[in-house]
Structure 1
Amino acid sequence: MSGVARDQDVDIDLGQLVRAVWARRLRILTITLVGASVAFAGAKIMSPQYRSETRILIEPRAPAFASTQQANDTSAGPLMDELNIASQVQLLQSADLLKKVINNLKLYNLPEFDDAASGSAMSSILVKLHLKKNPLENPPEERVIDAFVERLQVYQVPGSRVIGINFTSKDPKLAAAIPNAMANVYLSTQSGAKLDSNSEATRWLEPEIEGMRLKVSEAEKKVAEYRTSHGLLQTNGTTTFPAQQLNDISAELTRVRGDKANAEARAQAVRNALKSGEASDTLPDIMSSQAIQRLKGTESGLQSQVSDLQTSLLNNHPRLKSLRAQLSDIRTQIRQETQKILASIENESKVADLRASELERQSETVQATSARAGEDEVGLNALEREANAQRQLLETYLVRYREAASRADSNSSPADARIVSRAVEPVDPYFPKVVPIVVVAAVATLIMSAIVIMLAELFSGRALRPTDAASETIEAEAVVEEKHVPQAAPIAAAGGRPVQPSMLAVVADEEDTIEDVKAAEEAPEDEPEDDNEFSVASVADYLTGSRAPLAIAISPTGDSGSAATVSLTRMLADAGRRVILIDMTGSGYPTELMAEDQAALGVTDLLCGEAAFGDTIHGDRFSDAHLIPQGQSDVRRAMRGVDRLSLLLDALAAAYDLVVVECGSADVAGVSRLTRSRDVEIILSLPEVEETIFVALMTEFQAAGYERVVLMSGGEGAEQALGRAA
């Protein structure tokens, strides 16, 4: 290997391999073109092979005049079985069927199916060397069948009852004719087998039907004679006269007994009312009487007159005495009428009792007659069962005989299969495919040429490089970078913005360090002071460069800090950021500044489940920023579902570049519950910095683990307070 020592560790130089291949690109292209040309010529020299296909569906089929029941019975047969489909595939490849196709199409005269008669020179050499059996030793018919089977493919389409027949031939017409011929021979064979079975069925059924007719006639004659001799007359299709009479008497007896029980219950109710002296107005028998109704009306009128006169006359007044006498007489008449109704009900009960006794006597007589008829029906039922069995068997034989005879006479017995797709004469050859062969040959030649060139480079050593020299070069470059490139350690200010130190630590020598320190001390005096780094614009620039999707704004001073947060949100929106502000303050001041409608749905409505998520997002009236207002629902009830706010923040963070949550004067515990483990920026919105508040908040947030706390304020007071806090 040139340029590499024998004992060195080496590595493969991929760049050199690529350069070597690129340098010999013309040679590779020439070889590729030659390979593609050879493949094209070979594909053109090959004899084209054509393939066509016929498809057969295996399904039960019956003649057009067959009954629906028979068709349904046939469909439930074994034709749906998977094993039956596989058997039909083997039947299509049977030698008898292939011989019929070969003889019908006279394929034995075609040289394509007897290549052994005019074998090639290579085949003759193999036969002489006893490496191959001489095909001429086989009979011509077997050679034709072997050639036919080599070009034939019969298969079952997966997941269906369809059988495909493929055939490949040099002649496109023959490729289409052979599958169609095989399908026709298969269908005719199946149909002929069914016709033979029909003829055999008719020959067997004729004598059986004649004998069965005599048996049915004798059985029905015995049934009629037995019924006449025993007096078993039928009232309808299944019931005899004694049984029907007994059923009628039983139904009437049940009804009469019910009437008797009903009459006794009604009479007892009237007697109880008369005995206890209670009002009988609630009894239906009493109230249905017209006389009772008239007497009750008269009693009500007299009672009303007595009540009216008692207010103006004394109790012994003749008028009052007359009315009371009339009232007593009316009540006596009501009791007498009630006694009459009771006597009528008791008479109904007695009549029902007499009727029930008579029906019971008749029932006993009919039961005796029905018992004798039941004994006679045992023999009758046996004769009827025998006659029905013989009649059903005769009807079955007749139906089978008519169907078989009609099929045999009309030669209409379709095979349990049909052709769903016939083979057509192919236009394009199945093999060879010129374009794919040329493309594959060209790609293979290109890849092989490149591999050969790469192997030559590797074996010559030009594509290898020592690993020691490379490591020394990397170490030398690292030392140079350490000497010439100063490493600055940024210091995080209390406001969270990175501040470059005024002094740079240089490793080179001590004199350069002193000069750099002097230059750093003199530079601030010559340059003008920067703008306030805690202003709203500075914080907006900082958030633009931050990757945190969430910013929590804390406003200890109230609405003034919230107004600054609104300004920050609008400034981010004007800078092209997709930003949304969530008003979580108690006063709702951000909603007042940004929302078009102060009564718009907001975060409290969402947490209470009274508003949909999309209905709470509104646009700012002065910028492209979006806003989720405070809402109109109860704040305390909404805070019970504050845990759901985490899902809201996740959804908004996926849709916006930055989500700003204005929390007002919130504490560290509330912010921690809201942010949890998210990547978050904490913004202290203090328009006028108060040192005590600022120092306390910074201490609490840093103790809680929040390292990025940004102060947003104005004036020199912020810088002084930041310095004292640090």
Structure 2
Amino acid sequence: MTESHGHGADERVEIDLSALAGALKRALRWLLPLCVAVAIATVVVLQFVPSKFRAESKVLIQTSDAVYPGDVRGIEEERALLDNEGVASQVELLMSRDLLRRVAQRLDLAAIPEFEAGPTSSLFRETLVALGLMRDPGRNSREERVLKVFYKNLEVYRVDGSRVISVRFTSRDPERAARVANALVEEYLDLQSSVKRETTDFAATALEPQIERMRQEVKEAQKKVEAFRTLAGLLIGADNQTLDQQQLGEISTELSDARASQSQAEARANLIRRQLDSGASLDSAAEVLNSQLVQRLRERQVELQSRIAELSTTLLANHPQIRALRSQLADLERQIRNEAEKIAAGLENEARVQQDRVASLTATLETFKVRAAKSNEDQIRLRELEREAQVKATQLDQLMTRYREADTRRNAPQLGADARVISRATVPLEPYWPKVVPIASILTFIVFMLGSLWAILGQFLSGRAFRHMPLGATEAPAAASMPPAAAPGYQAGRAAYSGGGFGYDWQTPVQDAGSVAAANALSPETGPDDVTSVASEHVAGAPAPAPLVPAAVEQMHPRRIAVLSVDSDEVAQEVTFRLVREAAEEGIMPLFLEVRPDLGDPEAVPGFAELLEGSASFAGVIYRDAASRAHVIESGRRVIDDDLAEAGRFEMLMDAIDHTYDQVFFDLGLIDDSLISAQILAMADQVVVATGGSPAGPELEEALRMLEDQTGAPVAVEPVKRKGETARRPSDMAA
């Protein structure tokens, strides 16, 4: 981050991070004792602060069981009680002044000094009251002061995602805190029961005059029905019918019977007449056969025929005796026909009688029809009066049912509340306030941050935090901004190494001017033929950072060192960082290059994978180690697969890095069989196997033999440095 300075147009002003770090280091001499003193003072002061205890009771909002008639609620009533608004209403009820006043009177809280909250006389308070800037506390009643303290120490809230209400109360006495919380819940349940009883009593009292009034209305309506029925002559007979309707039905039935009898008599008379006229036998006429005279004549006729048949065997047909018998037989036949004519005449007379009856009934029926038509309007009016009386009777029954239910609930010994206690408040064992450790820690941290800020501001105000450099100077670092997200591996490494005396600065990554110039020249569009010339031009044109010894570096130290591990990625990273920083301490310009073929994180910063892909330049991926002057290149965001390793940019990048840095340390992590790892091992001058300090096992020995056979480079074993061990020199890495 550069900006122009007022000294001249050919200068630039940069923030000297080393000066700020030195100022913070010097400030620790007085800042650490101050922080310790603040922490001790805070702990001591908090010992004199009165402890407060918090007790908690929980209530579940639910519908009470239906024990008495009328307790059953509708769906809408239950929904209104159990929804969010209903539970919020219960929370407000628990915090109501009336409920708190009942609890205060029950526990006699006014007699407790903690709830007195009386005004303390002070000159400042009296001055504010005199100026009208503050209300005089002495005007408040004793009850108001108690409720004020009650509200201050009370906390009622709904537990998220449930119908549970938590009631918390804070007090200096742990037993009092639990007693007040439980008393508030008990009074809340009693209040609900009493409200239900009052509502029931009010309903029963209100129903009594309504029932009495409805009874009178029902009586009047029934009287109107009976009076109109009598006046209109609509008296009720059998089958709940009026007399006119009943008589009309009877006449209709008699008329039908008369017509049937008339038709039957006429048919029988006509049948006998046809038989007599045709001279046919009368044996088919039932009325003739049923006549007793005809039956006796038929018997006499049969006897004569029998006699004639006997005499015909001995006498001729013209014998006087036979002729006499036949004459008697003909006389009998004539008598039978005469009798049949009489029967036919009787049937005709009966038909005429029924005809006259039909005429009479028809006339009567017409008369009743006229009367029935006239009574239809009266019947309609009567039905209206009956319906009105029935409606009033139904309303009276409903009111009586509701009154009986209300009276039952009113006389009940106990009415259930729409809530139940699921957790009663117990006496707290530990104080809720003050929290000594958190308060002391926070105050100490605030003091430390303020002291650090004071030291840094002093550097800025004195001007020692700025560094003036000519625009053409190559030793001035160029600041770059770190992307907001770092690779997960380095974030873990940063936390792990911070306790060991070295860290990784992600805030102000810096590169030397020469390396930045070469990196910027090597853009993604640079071809393979231009790499060597670009790197050589920038390395030759920019003086090497002192105290570099380029001629002796290659003879004393290998240029390309590959570090891998058979234990974990973290072990390889820790050993690589240590070797890089040891090399930097000897005046060598090293590069930490992380190569993780299987590490792909879209949230990481651009690194070596983006260089191979050609989507980033060196200027966007090189960062400076905060604990040394070494530079760092991360693995990148994408996975380094075989296609990316064979893209042709690997050798080009290695040539540029070799022309810029004295030593390159490759952090390969856990040993694998990727192509990029094989390429790096093939070109490595030194191979280091990092271990966690455990004794060598078969896996480590096999890895050493394989690396020696495949790479041809010296192979060394480097353990993780533990606390208290002396630092190894880079020359000890030789196999």
| TM-score interval (norm. to shorter) | 0.3 to 0.5
Q: So what's the TM-score if we normalise by structure 1?
A: 0.42
Q: So what's the TM-score if we normalise by structure 2?
A: 0.42
Larger radius of gyration: 2
